[in-house]
Structures are given as structure tokens and as C-alpha cells.
Amino acid sequence: MRHNFLDFHSRLDSPVHRLCADTKLVVALALVLATVWMPFPAPWYFATVTGFLIIIAFASKIPALSLIKRLLLLEPLVLGVAALAWFQPGGALVFTRIVVKSTLCLFTMVLLSNTTPFSALLDVLRRTRFPSLIITTLALMYRYLAVLVDETERMQRARASRTFAGRRSHLWKSLGTVIGQLFIRSTERAERIYAAMCARGWK
């Protein structure tokens, strides 16, 4: 099971990785808030932030292709939200503002998650007296996302070993079946885990 697929590069050895998680989290949140509140257009600010993030990415020794792939994976969400403003008055400017600001914020979070182990981020939240229920929920989500991915891969391999037709319609039908079975198995697993936690005194 690939338990660290979300923060695979977070345990590399680089000057950025060696910084304490508190510092990195504070700087990332400050950058995100400043980017959101900064009036648009402000070329000097966005150029400075972009250059700073590129320097951090270079210093972190994380493969550039990996960072680009993760950013592009999230970019359709940005474009989908920005597209809603396209047909409003001044839509082009609003669209550009949303895309630029959101992309910088996402890049900041991608760098944070790839240079800081998830457990270290949870530890920072715990020390800042963040609600324990939310921390527990995030920890369980992180743990069982890996289980969910592992279960999906096993089901896909089992389906592929029993499928001989290569038609696209058949592939889509198989994918729908896998998704449905995965939902059922995930629900059943969640109920068993919750029952086991309650039996051990968890509240």
C-alpha cells in the first residue's frame, strides 16, 4: 500500500524541508491571505510572490514535473470557478483575477504539503489548540485515503483480469461498476471502523 502518495516528497532532505513546520505553515497562510486581499491588478506583488515560490520550489529539490502535475490536477477546479464570472460585466478581468490568485494560492499549498509531512502539520494544529475533533477527522481521512486508493487498485486489477473486451463502452461500464462497489465497500468499512472505535471508548 502506498501510504504516502499525498506527501511523497515531504521527507526529502533540503533547506526547505528542514525548516520547522510552524514557520512553513505561518508563511504559507500569510502568503495566501495577502494574495487574496491584494487588489488586482498588482503586477509587482504577483511577480514577487511567483518568483519567491519558484525559488522555494528550486531549493526544496522536489522534481519540477511532480509539482507541475499536482498543480495541473487542481487547476480545472480553478478554471471551473473562474468560468462562472466570465459572462458578468467585466468578466474577463474577474476571470483573470480568480485564475491568477487561485493558482498562486494552490501553488503555495502544494509546496507546503510537499515539504512538510502531514503528521507534522497535524502536530502544529494540535499545539495551537485547534478543535481535536477536526484534527482526528483529518488524521483519519489521510489514513484511509491510502486504504481507499489501495482498494481501488485491487478492484481494478481484479476487473482487468476478468475482462477481455477492449471496447470503450465496456471500459466505461466496468469503471461504473468499480465505483459503485467501491462506494459500498467504503461505507461498510467506515461503519466497522466506527463501531470498533466506539467499542474502545472513542467519543
Q: What is the CA radius of gyration of the chain?
A: 21
pLDDT of residue 32: 93
* pLDDT at residue 195 in the model: 84
Residue 107 pLDDT exceeds 90: yes
Percentage of the chain with pLDDT > 90?
A: 17
Mean pLDDT (the chain, rounded): 82
Distant-in-sequence, close-in-space partners of 178: CB < 8 Å, separation ≥ 6: 152, 155, 156, 159
Answer with the residue of higher pLDDT: 172 or 140: 140
Residue 91: C-alpha distances to residues 35, 41, 83, 88 (Å):
20, 14, 9, 5
Q: What is the mean pLDDT of residues 36-62?
A: 89
pLDDT-based confidence at residue 74 (cuts at 50, 70, 90): confident
The pTM of the full predicted model, rounded to 2 decimals, is 0.75
Q: Note the pLDDT of residue 59.
A: 92
Provide the residue count of the chain: 203
Average pLDDT for 115-142: 86
Arithmetic mean of pLDDT, 18-30: 91
- Nearest-5° Cα angle at 53, 17 to 124: 45
What's at 57, amino acid-wise? Answer: A
In whole angstroms, give the CA distance from residue 130 to residue 5.
25
- Asked if pLDDT for residue 1 goes beyond 50, the answer is no
Q: Where are the alpha helices (DSSP H) in the chain?
A: 15-18, 21-37, 43-59, 64-83, 91-115, 118-127, 132-161, 168-199
> Could you read off the pLDDT of 27-47 as tens digits, one per residue?
999 999 999 898 877 888 889
**Does the pLDDT at position 2 exceed 60?**
no
User: In this predicted structure, what is the pLDDT of residue 162?
Assistant: 67
What confidence score (pLDDT) does residue 86 get? 75
pLDDT at 203: 67
Higher pLDDT, 120 or 87: 120
pLDDT tier at 75 (50, 70, 90 boundaries)? confident
pLDDT at 167: 60
**How much is the pLDDT for 166?**
56
